Amino acid sequence: MAQTSIFKLIHMIDQMNNANIIRFTKAFPYPLGISPILVLSELKIKGPQRQAELAETIGYTKGAMTSIAEKLVKLGLAERLYDDADRRTIRLQITEEGVGALIKAQEVGKEVFIQLFEVLNDEEIAQYLSIQEKLVQGIQDRAE
Cβ 95 vs Cβ 101: under 8 Å: no
For residues 11-22, average pLDDT: 93
Convert the pLDDT of each residue in 26-75 to its tens digit.
999 999 989 999 999 999 999 999 999 999 999 999 999 999 999 999 99
pTM of the full predicted structure? 0.81
Alpha carbons 14 and 29: distance in angstroms, whole number: 24
Q: What is the DSSP string of the chain?
A: --HHHHHHHHHHHHHHHHHHHHHHHHH-SSS--HHHHHHHHHHHHH-SEEHHHHHHHHT--HHHHHHHHHHHHHTTSEEEEE-SS-TT-EEEEE-HHHHHHHHHHHHHHHHHHHHHHTTS-HHHHHHHHHHHHHHHHHHHHHH-
For residues 1-21, average pLDDT: 88
